[in-house]
Amino acid sequence: MNRGTIPGFYYDEEKKKYFKIQPNHVAPAEAKYSKSTVKREQRESKRRKLDARHDDIRRRQTVRPSSALTSDGVALGREIGNREPSTNMLSREAFFLSQLQPSIVRFSGPGYDRFPTIVNAHITHGPERLMLAVGHSMSRYPIFTGPEYPNLAAFEGTLCFSASKLPAFSSPVISIDTTASQQTLVICAQRPTHPGNVLIGFLDDETQEMRSGCFMTLGSAESSLWACAMNPWTDNKVAIAGTEELYVVDTAANSMAQLALPGGESRAITWLDPNTVVYGQPPEDERPGPKASSSSTVHLWDVRSQGTALRFTREKTKGWKRLPITGLQNPCDSGLHILASYNKSIDLYDTRVTNRPLLSFKHTHQGPQLQFATYNNVVAALDEDNDVQTYSLRSGKRLGTLQRPPLSLQQPRASRGLMTNLQFHESDDGLSMLFACRDEHICKWTFGGARDDEWG
């Protein structure tokens, strides 16, 4: 960290010398003395000092019971029968996150001179198989399917795939998902290029290989898709958000509903109940000039009646900067709550109450979309420093930062890529896992298994 004794210079603890802080376009990539790296270290140092200060204040103001009698499921309280009420899971959430063990897996595909970039990943439920969309040097994005993994914590090192079982796309893949019955596969790509940007396939019950399928092209030549969401209550509906329209594809009825977006693109979409889609729209300037105000909005779309309604309006921000909704989720598929984010915060809304959010977490992220996932009222979200922050929807508090996965011995520079596609997965044997894509690696944090029943 910069000692601060000489303004405009960075002190390297390893080399024991000062370096002049250089602009980002002059310094080598990820150099310690580049302006962006120094600023990031300063933010991390400030955050650590604030966390230490808050922890010290909380420790001095809290009367703590004996640690031998705490009932978090791992101490003496469990032995003497002081079980924690099922409605109080705060300590279990903290314990669950503290026990997540980071690791990293490297991907190796057939016919590659170098390791490609993983742009999306998905683990099928039931017969657990890994599906990966990778970026090829020839601007192709093939889909690979891996073998069955009864124990997902077991695969380490380099993950080798023998063959590609699914076709390739001509633009980056934004989503891979399967229905609850594991019979239908949906893959969405970003742009409407040949052979299409949506693939709907039907999987074999035993091998989970695609036996048939068809491509679709949604949107005009200048449009693109942003996000898609499978309906968790049915096996045949998928909602897709784009720059011009929203789409709901019904694979059972072989039909599609469309909704035009006069206000512009929608970067996030999810399902509130079996027939209602939740989508976000960017703000609209209410009056011209330097004092213009703008606000992001969350809308509901009933796919049965084609009716829409404005449900939530994000707080207005002065100035020209437009802050659209960058992420939407229905935590725990409750049908009552909506988790919405924009670049500066993550908010939890209740559809039964007013426009004001129930909870709000200050969270700044990079890119046009928030990379986040929810699991048992825990939110894991990627921040601007490429760290995974965790929050509790029960207490409304930040739970901490997950430990970064170790560097790859083969490619130490791989840790410098941004993580994407955060997903929680729970296998049939009780294994819980959070995984993400980063360059040619899959980062994963694992907890539990058949031998550990402390969570749930």
For all residues of the chain together, what is the average pLDDT?
A: 78
Which residues are CB-neighbours of 90 under 8 A, at least 6 positions away? 392, 394, 395
Using the predicted structure, report yes or no on whether residue 402 has a pLDDT greater than 70: yes
Per-residue pLDDT tens over the stretch 308-342? 999 998 766 554 456 789 999 999 777 889 999 98
Task: Classify residue 308 as exposed, middle or buried by CB count within 10 Å of its CB (0-12, 13-18, 19+).
Answer: middle
CA distance 73 to 314: 39
Residue 371's pLDDT band (cuts 50, 70, 90): very high
- Residue, of 30 and 365, whose pLDDT is higher: 365
* Torsion-angle region of 157 (φ positive above 0: left; ψ -120 to 50: alpha; else: beta): left
- Residue, of 41 and 268, whose pLDDT is higher: 268
Residue spans of the domains in the chain: they are 1-61, 90-448
Least confident segment among 4-13, 300-309, 405-414: 405-414
Per-residue pLDDT tens over the stretch 138-197? 567 888 776 555 455 555 566 666 555 677 888 999 998 887 776 788 899 999 988 899
Residue 64's pLDDT band (cuts 50, 70, 90): low
Mean pLDDT to the nearest integer, 292-299:
72
Strand partners, 121: 132
How far from 362 is each of 316, 347, 384, 422, CA to CA, in Å?
16, 9, 12, 19
- Residue, of 264 and 147, whose pLDDT is higher: 264
Domain 90-448 architecture: 7 Propeller (2.130)
Q: Are strands 293-294 and 276-281 parallel, antiparallel or unpaired?
A: unpaired
% of the chain beyond a pLDDT of 90: 23
For residue 178, the model assigns a pLDDT of 82
Cβ–Cβ under 8 Å, residues 215 and 256: no
For residue 293, the model assigns a pLDDT of 43
For residue 145, the model assigns a pLDDT of 74
% of the chain beyond a pLDDT of 70: 73
For residue 284, the model assigns a pLDDT of 63
- Residue, of 192 and 20, whose pLDDT is higher: 192
Cβ–Cβ under 8 Å, residues 184 and 190: no
- Residue, of 387 and 426, whose pLDDT is higher: 387
SS3 of the chain: the string is CCCCCCCCEEEECCCCEEEECECCCCCCCCCCCEHHHHHHHHHHHHHHHHHHHHHHHHHHHCCCCCHHHCCCCCCHHHHCCCCCCCCCCHHHHHHHHHCCEEEEEEEECCCCCCCCEEEEEEECCCCCEEEEEEECCCCCEEEEEEEECCCHHHCCEEEECCCCCEEEECCCEEEEEECCCCCEEEEEECCCCCCCCEEEEEECCCCCCEEEEEEECCCCCCCCEEEEEECCCCCCEEEEEECCEEEEEECCCCEEEEEECCCCCCCCEEEEECCEEEEEECCCCCCCCCCCEECCEEEEEECCCCEEEEEEECCCEECCCCCCCCEEECHHHCCCEEEEEECCEEEEEECCCCCCCCEEEECCCCCCCCCEEEECCEEEEECCCCCEEEEECCCCCEEEECCCCCCCCCCHHHHHCCCEEEEEEECCCCEEEEEEEECCEEEEEEEEECCECCCC
The phi, psi pair for 175, rounded to 5°, reads -160, 145
- Residue, of 59 and 436, whose pLDDT is higher: 436
CA distance 205 to 193: 30
pTM of the model as a whole: 0.73
CA distance 107 to 132: 9
Per-residue pLDDT tens over the stretch 97-121? 888 888 888 877 665 556 678 888 8
